[in-house]
Amino acid sequence: MTEKTAMLLDAQDSQLVLVDYQSRLIPAIHEGQQVLANALRLARMADEFKVPVWGTEQNPDKLGSNDPALRPLCQKTLAKMHFSAVADGLADWLRPPARPVSGNARSLPRHLQKPVAAAPERATILVAGCEAHVCLLQTALELIELEFDVWVVTDACGSRTERNRDAAFDRLAAAGAELVTTEMVAFEWLRTAQHPSFRAVQALIK
């Protein structure tokens, strides 16, 4: 795991992953409606800051799609069968593709070819979802293993029981994830009340 270069979140370095807010799962989640409401706030704030948002759905044929208000706020939604979304390809979405070498460069000897600049990587991954101790936990741990900088938005995470949810947070913190809340994300992305998005974000969290 790489060392964090800053203690505050930076919207320009962030991506948001929303794990399994599915229609047949949310009713069983402790405080499920509040968890979903915070996920919606996060996704709308991300849109305000132009932060990429990715969704996942566990076995959607059986558990249904993500909440109909949330799904359109995601750029893409990954249908998965593994509990960890990484096992089904999430990391490929989070890392920018390598730029191909231009046609002219291929005709040059290798020692004369200019290196291709990599696309800037948004290495800070905010993760929230259900169930916190299963799909959210396994996804976040595998992202940490791949050296992403993982921040877990705790009030947008849920499990069927508080004990399972809290055990997941303890384990994630021990593994190096930062634990934050929706409002912490909002104000760290803003940094100042003079930010052009301040009023819009304030309206989302009131």
pLDDT in tens, the chain (206 residues): 445 455 899 999 999 999 999 999 999 999 999 999 999 999 999 999 999 999 999 999 999 999 999 999 999 999 999 999 999 999 999 997 665 555 555 555 665 665 555 556 899 999 999 999 999 999 999 999 999 999 999 999 999 999 999 999 999 999 999 999 999 999 999 999 999 999 999 999 88
- 67 within domain boundaries: yes
Here the CATH number for the domain that contains residue 143 is 3.40.50.850
Per the structure, the complete domain to which residue 163 belongs is given by 11-94+119-205
- 192 within domain boundaries: yes
- 3 within domain boundaries: no
Against a cut of 0.85, is the pTM above it? yes
- 100 within domain boundaries: no
- 197 within domain boundaries: yes
Q: Which tokens hold the place of 110? A: 């290798």
- 1 within domain boundaries: no
- 193 within domain boundaries: yes
Taken as a whole, the chain contains a residue count of 206
Buried b (16+ CB within 10 A) or exposed e, 33-55: eebbebbbbbbbbbebbebbbbb
The rounded distance, in Å, linking the Cα atoms of 175 and 94 is: 20
- 162 within domain boundaries: yes
Helix, strand, coil in percent for the chain, rounding step 5: 45, 15, 35
The domain total for the chain is 1
